[in-house]
């Protein structure tokens, strides 16, 4: 684990694909390039870093805390992805540049489905918490789109548990709940 003098924690990741989110610049929403990466959840330092990321985002009181707990329990069996503004050197991801994280399952060879379990965004950019004051949006949508493209040759994503109010968002990103 590398800790810089500014106390930024770095951890490893693998670039999956570049994508875009929207950033507010001079009162207009413009495309902002970001990258979809996969964590190495089997690595002890990456698990600690995901816990640190959860702490950075409101002390683990949002979905990032649930994702960190999942990683602590499942260790290397977790499939954790992130959206970051970092553009290179993904072996040393900077936690302060991560916009969102999500946990998902692998594609089931029989059903051709992969469940998305949880999606957490930095509370600074979360729709429910800061829709009027955020300067970056479409983080969860970009993660779902990137995940869908990544598994498109093997299957499709789904969710089995939908919270109140999520239906409209899931419909918008073409993600249908399966039971």
Per-residue pLDDT reduced to its tens digit, 106-161: 999 999 989 888 888 888 887 766 667 889 999 999 999 999 999 998 988 888 77
The model scores a pTM over 0.85: no
Q: How confident is the model at residue 24 (pLDDT cuts 50, 70, 90)?
A: very high
* pLDDT of 5: 37
Listed range (10-14, 37-41, 77-81, 102-106) with the worst mean pLDDT? 10-14
Give the closest residue to 16 by CA, choosing from 138, 143, 140, 128: 143
Higher pLDDT pick, 44 / 105: 105
The domains found in the chain, sorted by start residue, are 10-166 (3.40.630)
C-alpha–C-alpha distance, residues 97 and 88, integer Å: 12
Q: How confident is the model at residue 70 (pLDDT cuts 50, 70, 90)?
A: confident
Give the closest residue to 47 by CA, choosing from 15, 16, 69: 69
C-alpha–C-alpha distance, residues 160 and 152, integer Å: 19
């Amino acid at each position: 684990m590398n800790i810089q003098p500014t106390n930024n924690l770095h951890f490893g990741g693998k670039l999956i694909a570049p994508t875009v989110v929207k950033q507010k610049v001079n009162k207009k929403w413009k495309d902002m390039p970001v990258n979809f990466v996969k964590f190495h959840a089997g690595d002890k330092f990456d698990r600690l870093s995901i816990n640190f990321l959860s702490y950075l985002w409101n002390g683990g009181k949002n979905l990032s805390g649930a994702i960190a707990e999942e990683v602590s329990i499942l260790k290397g069996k977790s499939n954790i992805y992130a959206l970051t503004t970092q553009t290179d050197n993904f072996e040393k991801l900077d936690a302060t540049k991560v916009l969102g994280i999500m946990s998902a399952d692998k594609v089931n060879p029989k059903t051709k489905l992969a469940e998305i379990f949880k999606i957490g965004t930095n509370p600074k950019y979360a729709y429910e918490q800061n829709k009027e004051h955020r300067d970056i949006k479409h983080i969860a949508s970009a993660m779902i789109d990137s995940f869908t493209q990544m598994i498109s040759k093997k299957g499709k994503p789904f969710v089995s548990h939908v919270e109140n109010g999520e239906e409209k968002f899931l419909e918008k990103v073409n993600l249908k709940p399966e039971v």
